[in-house]
Amino acid sequence: MDQISQSGWDLRETTTFPMVLHGMNQFAHMMMGLRPDLAPAESAEQIHAILGQGRAAVWLPARDPDVVRHREQKGVSCDSLSASLARRLPADCLFLVKKHALESGPVSSEWLARKLMVDEAFPKMLSEIPCTTWVGSVADHRTIRQMLYSRVVSGTPVIAGPGADKGTPEG
């Protein structure tokens, strides 16, 4: 959604929100094309069922009933939707993939929002989930599988609230 809003087009959130969901679904389909063993899931309940079968799930949020309630909430994009899913699962860890890596950390969720790296609703959403959060770059995609198995995360830790603003990157 950030790239959509920064595109120069004057689009309302009622237009961009479905575009974000479509993009997230397209990414999930790409992942399933690369890894046919991934099972599609449209809700936290379906993810639980798939995991209970010992399989890996990939989330298709466009039909998730809990995502629908965020349509009218200002400033919600894929980052907040992912945090919402992490809360509903509940997940141990949330890893956001961004275009560029951060040079140092930890960083606060509010700092990320001010730098337009996450949506404006993300800091509040993150404060409501009890999981460790990291942000990494697309270059980290090769190590994500290793991170899942080893629990050793490469990336920048994200702290809910303003506590980590001191000493964060200034870019």
**What pLDDT tens digit does each residue of the chain (171 aa) get?**
444 444 455 555 566 778 888 888 998 999 899 889 999 999 999 999 999 999 999 999 998 988 877 776 777 888 999 999 999 998 888 989 888 888 777 999 999 999 989 999 999 999 998 888 989 887 776 676 677 667 677 788 899 876 555 344 444
Cis before residue 40, ω within 30 degrees of 0?
A: no
pLDDT for 153 equals 72
Whether residue 25 contacts residue 18, with contact meaning beta carbons closer than 8 Å, is answered with: no
| Helix/strand/coil for 156 | strand
pLDDT for 18 equals 82
CB neighbours of 56 closer than 8 A, spacing ≥ 6? 35, 37, 38, 39, 50
Task: Quickly list H helices, 7-77.
Answer: 13-34, 44-52, 65-68
Q: Rounded to 5 degrees, what angle do the CA atoms 16, 78, 56 make?
A: 135
pLDDT for 39 equals 96
pLDDT for 163 equals 56
pLDDT for 17 equals 79
pLDDT for 105 equals 77
CB neighbours of 152 closer than 8 A, spacing ≥ 6? 146
Phi/psi-derived region of residue 56, left when phi > 0, alpha when psi is between -120 and 50, beta in every other case: beta
pLDDT for 110 equals 94
